[in-house]
Amino acid sequence: MTDETVDQSTLESADAEDPRLVVLQAVVDRVTSWQDGADEPTVRKELDDAVAESDIEVDDATREKIVRHILDDTSHGDIRHLLN
């Protein structure tokens, strides 16, 4: 695990009150690990599919921030700051 990778147990314990973080961080980690250089439609579909499969709600502005983060910063960095 690199410094950039976010430990799942840390996410779950630190933000148990916000299940969006766990779901959305998993999308970011998954897409950036197997889809280096993914185009915007692919990233958006992965994000939309993950949100649809969960029982979380994510507004369009937050989805856009996450898509931009994945496309612009291919690290597995913590997305917690994007949910504020």
Model confidence over 17-72: pLDDT tens digits? 788 899 888 888 887 777 667 789 998 998 999 999 998 899 999 999 999 988 88
Rounded CA separation 84/81 (Å): 6
pLDDT attached to residue 2: 42
For the chain, domain boundaries = 8-83
pTM (2 d.p.):
0.69
Per DSSP, 75 falls in state S
What is the rounded average pLDDT of the residues 13-17? Answer: 55
Per DSSP, 37 falls in state T
Tokens of 8: 């799942």
Rounded CA separation 25/9 (Å): 12
